[in-house]
Structure 1
Amino acid sequence: MTEGSIADEALHLTAAMQCCGFRSVVGTMWGMADADGPDLVETFHRSMFSNKQAGKPYHERSARALRDAVRRLRKNQVPLERWVNFVHYDA
């Protein structure tokens, strides 16, 4: 604990996952719309494990996969507030 910090300070879940040792974490800044989940996850996993990305480190794959998934949401005319909240954290 550093001087001036609050002992019970909130820690964002993505930051907590990195503190636990995960190098790359995908998260949201706020809750996502349930309707976006199936399409986002399908596109993310398809991109993450595609043959195009074979041999690339998983932290690079996850960043690109999130980009692809968000682009798909945008292409499907999902409003800004529903696609802008997705974030990728990489150590």
Structure 2
Amino acid sequence: MAEYEIVCTVQTGCTAGGHILAVGRVDTDYQMGVLEVYRSMDKGDRYFTYAEGLKAYVRKWACPCGAGTLKSTADATLRNNLDSLPLCG
């Protein structure tokens, strides 16, 4: 089991905030798709974002439209939300 920092996202979607389709980790240039992150989480790995000295852990989330995506947990700052991260390029 390991922890990985997410530093960028690939987004699209049917809602105002969109869906996270893939994420980029701090330790690699490789972008992981949501299903790959789900499988990793099922094995016990944890994912988080980091800003202002705070970690926001990431969890699986099922959008009301039926899409499986990712969501960051609520905390004291918006700067570490998945939606606030830069887009992967």
TM-score scaled by length of structure 1? 0.25
Higher strand residue share: 2
**Relative contact order (alpha carbons < 8 A, sep ≥ 6): 1 or 2 greater?**
1
TM-score for the superposition, normalised by structure 2:
0.25
